[in-house]
Amino acid sequence: MDTQEQLTSGRRDGRKKLPGWLKLLIAVVLTLGISAGGFCLLMGRSGLALVQGWLLARFAFVDTQADLGQAADQALSGLVSGLGDRWSYYLDEDSYARTRERRANRYVGVGVTVNTAEREEGLLVTAVTEGGPAQSAGVVAGDVITAVDGVSIAGDMRQEGTELVAGEAGTQVELTLLGEDGTIRTVTCTRASLSTPSASGEMLEEHVGYVRLTNFYSGAADSFRGEVDALLEQGAEGLIIDLRSNPGGYISELTAILDYLLPEGPVFRQDPRWGFQSVYESDEQCVDVPMVSLVNGDTYSAAELLAAELKEFQGSPVVGERTSGKGYSQLTFPMLNGGGLGLSTATYCTGQGNSLIGVGIVPDLELELSQSEDNQLQAAEELILEQM
C-alpha cells in the first residue's frame, strides 16, 4: 500500500507544468481568436471588405500624403447613400459641429438678421437681436452693412458678407454702416453665442393669433408655449400655426407641444427597430380655441406630424401645399473621426396610427404661394374666422 501510494505520488510529481506567463499568453490568444471570429461574423464579407479597403489604402497606396480622412468621409457618405434612404445622412466633423450648434438653437455672431438682395451697397439689417452685441454697439434695423473689417461687401460680395460677419465667440469684428439718413459710421462688435427662439407670434385682425414655428430643436416647446400664451392673454380667439419650411426636430419637443395643445388621448406613436412601440399621451389640459395649420412642400417630420395630429384630433383645417411625407425618425451617432452618422431607426405615426410615409398631408385648401402676397395666410385667416 505504501509502495503504491509512493508510485502514484511519483507520477504526479513527474508531470511538466506550464509556466504562468505561457498560460496567460494562451488565454489571451484564445480570447482574441474567439473575439476576432465573432467580429468577422458580425461584420460579414461586405463589412470586412470596407476595413480591408481602408487598410490597403493606408499601407499599399503609392501616395503616402493622400488624405485618408477625406477618403473615409466620402466612404461613409457612400455607405449611407447606398442604403437608399433619403432621410439618413453622414456629416463630416465640421458639418456635425455646425449641426449640433443649430439644433441647440444657438449660433455665434453679432445678433443681426440681414437681407442680402435688397440693397446693392451691402447687407440690409432687417432685425437686431435684443441684448446682442450688435444692439449694444448701436446697430439698428434699416442700417446697411457696407464693409466688414474694412473689406467692402457691396455687389457680388454680399453673399460672402455673412461669412465675414460670422466668426469665433469672443473675437471682434468692425462693421461699416450706412444709416437710413445717409450717414456712415463704424462700430465694433464682439461676437458671442446667441440663442435663437423657435417661435414668433403676433396678433392679426379680428382676434386672430398668428404664431410661426421654425423648428422643433432645443427649447422649441417653451418658445412656442410662450408665444401662444401671450397671444391668448391678448385676447386671441383663434390660432394660425405657420409650419411652412419647418424641418422638424426632436420628438421630445413635438410631444411637449402636442400635450400643450391637445386634450387627453394618444398623440404620437413610435415603432423602433429594436424595442417596443412607444405611445405618447396628452393630458386633459389643452388650448381650447380653433386652429388652422399652414404647410408647404418643405414642411417635414415633426412639423407635418403636428399639422396631421391637429387635423386628426380636432378637425383643424390645413392650408398650403402638400407636405414631404416623412415617417422615419433618426438617431445621430457620433463617429470616432468626429463626424456624425444619422440613421433612420424607427417609424412613427399619429396617435390613431396613421402614417405619413410617402403620402404627407394633402391640405384641405391646397394653394400655391403667390409671388406678390401671402395668399396662403389670407386664406387661413378666412378659415379661422369661419370657425370662431
Question: Tens digit of pLDDT per residue, the chain (388 long)?
Answer: 333 333 333 444 445 566 665 556 655 565 555 555 565 666 778 888 888 888 888 898 999 899 999 999 999 999 999 999 999 999 999 999 989 988 998 888 899 888 888 899 999 998 888 889 999 999 999 999 999 999 999 998 888 888 899 888 999 999 999 999 999 999 999 999 888 889 999 999 999 999 999 999 999 999 999 999 999 999 999 999 999 999 999 999 999 999 999 999 999 999 999 888 999 999 999 999 999 999 999 999 999 999 999 999 999 999 999 999 999 999 999 999 999 999 999 999 999 999 999 999 999 999 999 989 999 999 999 999 998 8
Q: How many C-beta neighbours within 10 Å does residue 290 have? A: 19
- What is the chain's length? 388
Q: Which residue has the cell 381650447?
A: 288
Residues 340 and 328 in one domain: yes
Residues 246 and 136 in one domain: no
What per-residue confidence (pLDDT) applies to 12? 45
Q: Is residue 37 part of a domain?
A: no
Residues 205 and 239 in one domain: yes
Query: Can you give the residue range of the structural domain that contains 191?
Result: 106-195
Q: Which residues, including other chains, have CB under 8 Å from residue 211's CB and lie 6 or more apart?
A: 199, 200, 201, 224, 227, 228, 231, 239, 240, 241, 242
By 3-state DSSP, what share of the chain in percent is helix, strand and coil, each rounded to 5? 40, 25, 35
- Helix orientation angle between 251-261 and 220-233, rounded to the nearest 10 degrees: 20
Residues 256 and 369 in one domain: yes
What's the rounded Cα separation, in Å, for the pair 52 and 65?
19
Residues 206 and 188 in one domain: no
Q: Is residue 87 part of a domain?
A: no
Q: Is residue 41 part of a domain?
A: no
Q: Which residue has the cell 416647446?
A: 221
Q: What residue type is 236 in one-letter code? A: A
Q: Which residue has the cell 442680402?
A: 116
- Cα separations in angstroms, 310 against 132, 192, 263, 287: 36, 38, 11, 11
Contact 262, 308 (CB under 8 A): no
Q: Is residue 88 part of a domain?
A: no
- Cα separations in angstroms, 108 against 133, 214, 222, 232: 11, 19, 22, 33
Last residue of one domain, picked from the residues 195, 223, 250: 195
User: CATH number of the domain that 142 lies in?
Assistant: 2.30.42.10
What's the rounded Cα separation, in Å, for the pair 291 and 364?
13
H or E, element range at 174: strand 172-178
Q: Is residue 62 part of a domain?
A: no
What's the rounded Cα separation, in Å, for the pair 90 and 340?
6
Residues 253 and 310 in one domain: yes
**Domains identified in the chain, total number:** 2
Secondary structure E strands in 27-73 = none
Residues 146 and 214 in one domain: no
Last residue of one domain, picked from the residues 174, 195, 216: 195
Q: Is residue 67 part of a domain?
A: no
Last residue of one domain, picked from the residues 175, 195, 215: 195
What's the rounded Cα separation, in Å, for the pair 66 and 51?
17
Residues 165 and 278 in one domain: no
All 3 cell numbers of residue 234? 391678448
DSSP state of 249: B
Residues 331 and 272 in one domain: yes
Question: How many angstroms separate the most distant Cα atoms in the chain?
Answer: 121
What per-residue confidence (pLDDT) applies to 201? 95
Q: How many C-beta neighbours within 10 Å does residue 151 have? A: 12
Q: Is residue 319 part of a domain?
A: yes
Q: How many C-beta neighbours within 10 Å does residue 11 have? A: 9
Residues 211 and 225 in one domain: yes
Residues 216 and 338 in one domain: yes
Residues 191 and 213 in one domain: no
Q: Is residue 205 part of a domain?
A: yes
